[in-house]
Amino acid sequence: MQEELQHEQISLTLEEKQAMMAEHAALREKIGRARGSRKLRMLLDAPSPGDLVQSMPPQELLYTIKDIGLADSAEIVQLADTEQIRSCLDLDCWQKDHFDKERFTSWLFFLPAKETDAAEKVLQSMDIETLVFFFRDLFIVHELEGDDAKRSSNQKEIKGEYITTPDGFYAVEIPFEAEDTMNVIARAALDLFQLYGYSFCQKLFLSIQHSLPSDLEEAAYQFRRARIQDLGFIDYFDAIGIYQPLPPKSKPMQPIERPDEDITLPVYVQTRFEGLFGKAIQGLPSDALRERVQFELFYLTNKVLAADQVEPANPQAMRKVLRSVQQLLELGFEVLGATEESAATQLLAQHHVEWIFRSGYSALARLRKRAARLRRNKQFSLIEDAECSLLDSPYMEVLRGLKSLKPKFYTGIEPRPGSIYRPFRNLDDISSVNRVLDLIAFLPTFFFQRLPFQHEELLAISAEDLLAPGHIEDVHFSHLFLTALAHFMLHGTWTLRPLDAADIETFLQRVFVHEGQAPYDLDPAFQVQVEQALLAIPNHTDEDRENVKLFLDHIWQHLHEQAAFLKPGQALEPQYLDLFLTKNNTPAPEST
């Protein structure tokens, strides 16, 4: 079938080929909007389904197969040419420089049952190094030498289940127990051999005996890397540098000359953008500049797709990456001072799109680096394996958002707090997070230098198992502060000694104004008294005082949210006791 299709295409004139390509593109766009079995029917009912399938770029074919389902895609696989299948496997079955055997198994497992031609095409599209690397973990190949008696003796020495090749040269042993899932995979692979003969596998068996896995995988990876680069894809290890922060005072990347020849890029980027980036592109004074910027944008997007390990067959993930690229470009404009349309247009005209992107990312990388330093501070935790456990919400969530390679903004610190992570949008977001990091960095100084506490003292208290909350990793700075504050208000001293229920009840009744209906407000005089006492502590800088006020705002909000419904004379419930460090098994006082 494939040879017939190639002969027909060679006989077409240039105009006929162009018309056919345009027809195929329009039809593929229409089919692309369908899903599942309907997409399969539309493909197979097309006037020339073979030509149509073979006109698909590899990532489009892969998405089509995944959308239809491998189990139903045997006919599509048969219509595709070997190069297309090889490209699909290159895109789908590798994670960085490691071959994903489970994914490759899924291609073999779903196809061979009835459509042996499709399964054989999958196998024949692979490098011999990849196949050997895959099969050597499924089988133990025993070479049977000598006369019939010696071969029979050799077979008796094989401990597991095995089959003997028809030529009698090899015994292929399955080294897995019957209930092992790998046994199922090995049997599926052996079924393939039995379906279309062993001649295809002779070289496999010989290589399985004498090749090193690491050498096989490395060789297969290098072949695969060259192939995907020919398709316009970028290898992960070449792309990950996109997330390398720019050195201070680094020289801007200069625009590149677009090559004269047409370059096929693996993702189709929308040509119309909104926001400042879209306006900047439209403001470019010539088509040549716009083409250059779009070419740089294509190349940048493909780097990000590779670095993020986005599946080429996942258009939703691709659109998400495109949005993140535009957001970082617009952040880059702002970092570079190009907040107006004219300035952004000039920046695009004079500099490489990737440099603008990395300027925006570098601002986030600095946040990420700062957060990593804070997480390494042992004074933020009471136990070794609970990083920053003393931090309350939303501070802990802010640090979590900065941990990933692409830092996220936690909406819990916005004026109208949310509870989700989103991309950073502008320098105001960065400023807000930096302000939170300033406060986080101040907390160990505040607790263990300005207040009369020692981190070692808290560790000693926790070792005595006197604390509630019941788990030491659930103790936060808010517990420490409210405990010490209750002692200060009731007894005039700052101490971390765990409270009893009577003191907790007295403190909570004293700090709220019980007028009208619950929820009750905190006593303003109490808040002023505490703030004045803390601001009067020696050695505070102006920045320290601002941090004290921010921390108190957090404490007042937390205390109001948790205890504003406690009525006078009401018995303490566990939720009120859990605001403090308390003695374990402390009974709540009876209501009066």
Identify the top-confidence range among 165-174, 178-187, 393-402: 393-402
226 lies in the same domain as 244: no
227 lies in the same domain as 260: no
* 153: amino acid identity, one letter: S
Query: Is the pLDDT confidence value at 224 over 80?
Result: yes
Separation between Cα atoms, residue 176 and residue 154, nearest integer Å:
20
Which pLDDT score is estimated for 164? 76
253: in domain? yes
226 lies in the same domain as 279: no
The H or E element spanning position 119 is helix 116-124
The structure's pTM equals: 0.78
pLDDT tens-digit readout, 287-302 = 989 889 988 888 898 8
45 lies in the same domain as 161: no
pLDDT tens-digit readout, 456-483 = 888 887 776 555 576 788 899 999 999 9
Q: How confident is the model at residue 591 (pLDDT cuts 50, 70, 90)?
A: very low
Separation between Cα atoms, residue 86 and residue 236, nearest integer Å:
19
Contact between 52 and 28 under an 8 Å Cβ cutoff? The reply is yes
**Of 446, 421, 436, nearest to 367 (Cα)?**
436
146: left (phi over 0), alpha (psi -120 to 50) or beta: left
Q: Which of 346, 365, 384 is the last residue of a domain?
A: 365
List CB contacts of 173: < 8 A, sequence separation 6 or more. 139, 140, 141, 142, 158, 159, 160, 161, 162
Residue 548 is given by DSSP the state H
Which pLDDT score is estimated for 446? 97
Whole-number percent of the chain with pLDDT over 70:
83
323: in domain? yes
Q: Range of 287's domain?
A: 236-365
Query: Is the pLDDT confidence value at 559 over 60?
Result: yes
501: in domain? yes
The H or E element spanning position 140 is strand 140-143
**Of 228, 404, 237, 435, nearest to 324 (Cα)?**
404
Separation between Cα atoms, residue 282 and residue 345, nearest integer Å:
8
Separation between Cα atoms, residue 477 and residue 463, nearest integer Å:
17
77 lies in the same domain as 106: yes
* 372: amino acid identity, one letter: A
**Of 241, 174, 172, nearest to 206 (Cα)?**
172
592: in domain? no
62 lies in the same domain as 151: no
Which pLDDT score is estimated for 362? 97
Tokens of 240: 């990950």
Contact between 363 and 333 under an 8 Å Cβ cutoff? The reply is no
Which pLDDT score is estimated for 409? 98
410: in domain? no
227 lies in the same domain as 247: no
**Of 389, 396, 335, nearest to 365 (Cα)?**
335
396: in domain? no
Contact between 106 and 70 under an 8 Å Cβ cutoff? The reply is yes
* 307: amino acid identity, one letter: A
Paired residues of 582 in beta bridges = 499
Give the total number of structural domains in the chain.
Answer: 4
pLDDT tens-digit readout, 44-96 = 998 889 999 999 988 889 888 888 888 888 888 889 988 898 999 999 999 99
Q: How confident is the model at residue 233 (pLDDT cuts 50, 70, 90)?
A: confident
Q: Which of 331, 349, 365 is the last residue of a domain?
A: 365
370: in domain? no
Separation between Cα atoms, residue 229 and residue 352, nearest integer Å:
21
Cis geometry, peptide bond prior to residue 498 (ω within 30 degrees of 0): no
Mean pLDDT confidence for 199-203 = 63
240: in domain? yes
Q: Could you give phi then psi for residue 441, rounded to 5 degrees?
A: -65, -30
* 303: amino acid identity, one letter: K
Paired residues of 98 in beta bridges = 95
Which pLDDT score is estimated for 141? 79
105 lies in the same domain as 227: yes
Separation between Cα atoms, residue 492 and residue 592, nearest integer Å:
26
Contact between 71 and 108 under an 8 Å Cβ cutoff? The reply is no
226 lies in the same domain as 187: no
Q: Which of 322, 343, 365 is the last residue of a domain?
A: 365
Separation between Cα atoms, residue 462 and residue 456, nearest integer Å:
10
Query: Is the pLDDT confidence value at 491 over 90?
Result: yes
Separation between Cα atoms, residue 458 and residue 475, nearest integer Å:
11
Across 41-113, the runs of DSSP E, i.e. the strands, are 94-95, 98-99
249 lies in the same domain as 219: no
Query: Residues 14-37, buried b or exposed e (16+ Cβ, 10 A)?
Result: eeeeeebeebbeebbeebbebeee
Average pLDDT score, the chain: 84
**Of 259, 236, 267, nearest to 97 (Cα)?**
236
143 lies in the same domain as 118: no
Q: Is the dihedral of CA 564, 565, 567, 573 positive or negative?
A: negative
**Total H helices, total E strands in the chain:** 28, 9
241 lies in the same domain as 149: no
The H or E element spanning position 531 is helix 524-535
Q: How many residues does the chain have?
A: 592
Q: Which residue has the tokens 């067959």?
A: 313
Which pLDDT score is estimated for 270? 55
The H or E element spanning position 65 is helix 58-68
**Is residue 247 packed enough to be buried (19+ CB in 10 Å), middle (13-18) or exposed (0-12)?**
exposed
Separation between Cα atoms, residue 96 and residue 117, nearest integer Å:
30
Query: Is the pLDDT confidence value at 584 over 70?
Result: no
pLDDT tens-digit readout, 308-362 = 988 776 777 878 888 899 999 999 999 999 999 999 999 999 999 999 999 999 9
Using N-to-C axis directions, what is the helix angle for 427-445 and 353-375, rounded to 10°? 20
Residue 447 is given by DSSP the state I
Which pLDDT score is estimated for 179? 77
pLDDT tens-digit readout, 114-168 = 555 666 667 777 787 887 788 777 778 777 765 554 555 555 667 677 777 767 7
Q: Could you give phi then psi for residue 299, rounded to 5 degrees?
A: -65, -45
Tokens of 221: 């990876």
Across 180-310, the runs of DSSP E, i.e. the strands, are none
Which pLDDT score is estimated for 466? 56
DSSP codes joined into one string, 513-528:
E--SSSSPEEPHHHHH
Q: How far is CA 548 from the centre of its chain?
A: 36
431: left (phi over 0), alpha (psi -120 to 50) or beta: alpha
